[in-house]
Amino acid sequence: MESFKKYIAEFIGTCVLVLFACGTAVVVGCSTASADVAYMLTALAFGLVIVAMAYSIGNISGCHINPAVSIAMLINKKMSVKDFVGYVVAQFLGAIVGAAILMAIVGTENGLGQNGLYNNDVLASLIVEIILTFVFVIAILGVTSKQENGSVAGIVIGLTLVLVHIFGIHFTGTSVNPARSFGPALFVGGEALANVWVFIVAPLIGGALAAVCYKFLASKK
């Protein structure tokens, strides 16, 4: 039952992330072309959702709401394979439901905050997303490594997500989260769905690299 509660928490958290953060991108008209008010509001929305969820479901599931975070925790032996699978399934389902609710509210005419390739370049987009995810996940691993950071961890993680969005929206719309990318792409279809594999593979690689790197840096050997 405890594991099931964790999965429900991850489902809810990822659903809220997609609905509110991707929803903000849609309603304010965020564009990758210029860093205007809409651009900044979108970056803030992603970070603020993480802060809200960290302090609401963090004590239940750890508030991963992102397969890239979960794979890092798995590599660093902070969760079991069973829980990893449960988390990832819950995260993808949450993202799908969040995107479905968003579509029901605003339609798909202006998109659903889906990601896109940078200049139609797969390699460049992969590299950007790996770097963004690496920075995001290594910050998570660092701030959650000490219990005394518990009171500020959610704020630090949220602000880090704002940071990577400020830099990354221009390039790919910033994924750093396979579930967050899959939900909107599933309903938008077309190029978004055809290219969504980039935003699944790259964050997982970035998360795994962050886990290995942090494990090495934190090792006392």
- Answer whether 115's CB lies under 8 Å from 175's CB: yes
Q: pLDDT digits over 37-80, tens only?
A: 999 999 999 999 999 999 999 999 999 999 999 999 999 999 99
The tokens for 8 are 């429900």
We report the CATH number of the domain holding residue 28 as: 1.20.1080.10
* pTM score above 0.85: yes
Q: How many domains does the chain have?
A: 1
Find the mean pLDDT for residues 191-220: 96
39 vs 30: CA distance, rounded Å: 5
Per the CB < 8 A criterion, the answer to whether 1 and 78 are in contact is: no
10 Å CB burial of residue 165 (0-12, 13-18, 19+) is: buried
* Rounded-to-integer distance, Cα 122 and Cα 194, Å: 12
* Residue 199 and residue 124 in contact, taking contact as beta carbons nearer than 8 Å: no
89-144: pLDDT as tens digits: 999 999 999 999 999 999 999 999 999 999 999 999 999 999 999 999 999 999 99
Per-residue pLDDT of 180-195, as tens digits, reads: 999 999 999 999 999 9
Kindly list the distances between the CA atom of residue 88 and the CA atoms of 44, 66, 93, 124, 148, in Å, as whole numbers in the listed order: 25, 8, 9, 26, 28
Range of the domain at 17: 2-218
What pLDDT band is residue 197 in, cutting at 50, 70 and 90? very high
Residue 221, pLDDT above cutoff 80: no
Q: What does the alpha-carbon distance between residue 53 and residue 32 come to, in Å, rounded to a whole number?
A: 26
